Amino acid sequence: MSLDALFQQILLTEHQLTEQTQKFKDAQQSSVMRLQHDLIKKCEDQMLKKIEELLCQKRHLWERLVKRESKEEEEIFLQEISRFNSDFSLRGNRETVFESQTHTEILDLEREVESLYKLDRQLSVAEAMTASLRAESLFVSQKPLTDSTCLLRKELEMHKKAALELRQEELSSEIRLLQS
């Protein structure tokens, strides 16, 4: 082998080596890119999963916050109602208020019964007077009509009778009014 042939052989080998190195670099670069792509895809999938978990956690925390605020509002509302009841003595004096109302109603009913008794007595007196006047009227009607005292009595009797009837009507309407 000559030097030229050896030199040609070296150049050829060098050229082949450069080509193979380039192919190897290209293959390596392609593999690296594929690996990077796969890693990026994996990272993206993991990030999407993590985002989904965080959104779910956020939703859960939001629901808990809303429930807590709702409970706090309910507690505040109940405290305000208790304070209001205490301020106006609605809780402790319920029985006292009920007893007072009952006592007042009983007193009103007793007064009404008393008024009815008074009216009933007045009505009895008026009926007795009416009966007495009727008896007197009967007696007077049997006397002669020419007697002057008799005529005056008759006139007086009619006035009394009218007055008593008027009083009886007044008492009857008062009784009806009280009964209704």
What are the tens digits of pLDDT across the range 78-107? 888 888 877 766 555 667 767 778 888 888
* Distance of alpha carbon 51 from the chain centroid: 43
Angle formed at CA 153 by CA 123 and CA 172, multiple of 5 degrees: 15
What are the tens digits of pLDDT across the range 38-60? 888 998 889 989 999 998 998 99
Domain ranges of the chain: 9-85, 101-180
175 by Cβ neighbours in 10 Å (0-12 / 13-18 / 19+) ranks as: middle
